[in-house]
Amino acid sequence: MKTETQNLEELANRDYKYGFVTDIDADSLPPGLDEDVVRAISAKKNEPEFMLEWRLKAFRHWKTMTEPTWAFVKYPEIDYQAISYYSAPKKAGEGPKSLDEVDPELLKTYEKLGIPLKEQEILAGVVAVDAVFDSVSVATTFKDKLHDLGIVFCSFSEAVQNHPELVEKYLGTVVPHTDNFFAALNSAVFSDGSFVYVPKGVRCPMELSTYFRINAANTGQFERTLIVADEGASVSYLEGCTAPMRDENQLHAAVVELVALDNAKIKYSTVQNWYPGDKDGKGGIYNFVTKRGKCAGVNSKISWTQVETGSAITWKYPSCILQGDNSIGEFYSVALTNNKQQADTGTKMIHIGKNTRSTIVSKGISAGEGQNTYRGQVKILKGADNARNYSQCDSMLLGDRCGAHTFPYIDVQNPSATMEHEASTAKIGEDQIFYCQQRGISAEDAVSMIVNGFCKEVFRELPMEFAVEAQKLLGISLEGSVG
């Protein structure tokens, strides 16, 4: 009889389903980073002066910074001069006007990933996809429909061209160019990303969605996303990713900024499935992301939901600054590490306004030799009367070679605050697996069932179409990890 550990390992050793490289001519800058490269990126994108100035400020600041080492992750030193900072699929003349004009190779790539844009277009009005291939937006659908409502949903580059006043007003207001090493780097060299503006009183009628994908070899991917919900507006944004297989480690340093004004709501959901490297830890994406939302207005709400199953290294803390009185911040997270994956992820909830509330629910799953760290900060500032926080951090271990770590930081400067913190660590029981088997359920299905049950509170927060995908993803990511 096979031992359960062997079963787990077989499950874990399933190959990454999405490993392939699309053969497309890329218009890339040579590797290396200096002011000329920053200028070149800005020039290629035909940016206004304020953008170039902002990039240069960021670059000059970045040069004074050192890479942070406090996270519980280990990786070989990154040579920032060996990376190419710009790569765009070659265009014949102007950008494609419709999907028919899009490089068929590119469309095939998305098809392999199960994101048929054509079908999505037909599935009218359910999800609008602003698909990013490497660094440039390829196709944006449903824009017209959104346009009628006054909603701007476009690539960052287009926003810079068509809505420079909005970009200038909000860019860097949540994550300043000086914020941290990776955010500064991103500010200097970001190539593209998504931009959303929902005007006063408008509820966005559909889930906005983006698929990111890293393709060209050795190209760092630096996206910049900015979402602004004006007074009384609401929007739900989905971000999902897969990446092709590659041997070199690929650096990814994105920045996402959310701004919610008075009575506005933003829900940001992520399913991240970038290449995690093979079972020996070779290859895989380095994911150093700065995600932060500012509840700038009264009664505003920002909710982060993430399902992180990919990347070799994850360094990511989607956070909320609760500035407006009565504002609400939420963070729901599932992070899974298998094989040699390492994740250091969590959130920061900074309570500034009165009666601000935050909820943190974090579920960490470690399998193989995966290392999973929750790092979270809850800060209640002096003026934040009657602030409330509820934190729950649960870890689950599969097998005996993985690790789970929890670093909660709590800083309360106002005595009227209410804080609750719960934490648990459980080993996925052989007892639990055997119990399921004894009822006729295979070990593999049992693990999937137990893990999905463990994550239920988070999945409940995901939009329907994502919840199903997330459950499947966990199943795939855990295949071979039964122990």
Partner 1 sequence: MLEIKNLHAQVEDKPILQGIDLTINPGEVHAIMGPNGSGKSTLASVIAGRDEYEVTGGSIDYKGKDLLDMEPEDRAREGVFLAFQYPVEIPGVSNMYFMKAALNAVRTHRGESEMDAMDFLAWVKERAKLVQMDESFLKRNINEGFSGGEKKRNEIFQMAVLDPSLAVLDETDSGLDIDALRIVSDGVNALRNENRAVLVITHYQRLLEYIVPDKVHVLYDGKIIRSGDRNLALELEEKGYGWIEQEAAEATR
Residues that bind partner 1 (CB under 8 A): 1-4, 429-432, 434-443, 445, 449-450, 452-457
Closest to partner 1 by CB, 168 or 457: 457
What is the CA 386 to chain-centroid distance, rounded?
Answer: 31
By beta-carbon proximity to partner 1, the closer residue of 50 and 435 is: 435
Report which DSSP code applies to 279.
T
Nearest distance in Å: CB 393, partner 1: 15
366's enclosing H/E stretch is strand 357-366
Nearer residue to partner 1 within complex by CB, 90 or 439: 439
Q: 282 or 456, CB closer to partner 1?
A: 456
- Minimum distance, C-beta of residue 287 to partner 1, in the bound complex (Å): 27
Cβ closest to partner 1, residue 119 vs residue 400: 400
Instruction: Please say which residue, 274 or 466, places its beta carbon nearer to partner 1.
Output: 466
Q: Compute φ and ψ for 69, nearest 5 degrees.
A: -125, 5
CB of 365 to partner 1, least distance (A): 12
Decide if 293 contacts 329 (C-beta within 8 A).
Answer: yes
DSSP element (H, E) containing 208: strand 207-212
Residue 286 near residue 311 (C-beta atoms within 8 A): yes
Cβ-Cβ contacts under 8 Å for 444 (sequence gap 6 or more): 7, 11, 479, 482
Beta carbon of residue 143, minimum distance to partner 1 (angstroms, whole number): 39
Whole-number minimum distance, CB 432 to partner 1, in Å?
5
CB of 179 to partner 1, least distance (A): 36
- Tell me the CB-side half-sphere exposure of residue 70, using CA atoms within 13 A: 8
Separation CA 472–CA 469 (nearest Å)? 5
Yes or no: say if 478 and 336 are a contact pair by the CB < 8 Å rule.
yes
List the structure tokens of 400: 């005996």
Instruction: Output phi, psi for 330, to 5 deg.
Output: -135, 145
Least separation in angstroms between residue 2's CB and partner 1 is 8
- Matching residue, tokens 């991103």: 186
Residue 282, number of CB atoms within 10 A of its CB: 12
Q: How far is the CB of 431 from partner 1 (least distance, A)?
A: 5
481 three-class SS: coil
SS3 162: helix
Minimum CB distance to partner 1 smaller for 132 or for 447: 447
State how far the Cα of 394 lies from the Cα of 388, in Å rounded to an integer.
20
Indicate the residue among 238 and 436 with the shorter CB distance to partner 1.
436
The least CB distance from residue 458 to partner 1, in Å, is: 10
Contacts of 440 (CB under 8 A, 6+ apart): none
Output 102 or 482, the one with its CB closest to partner 1: 482
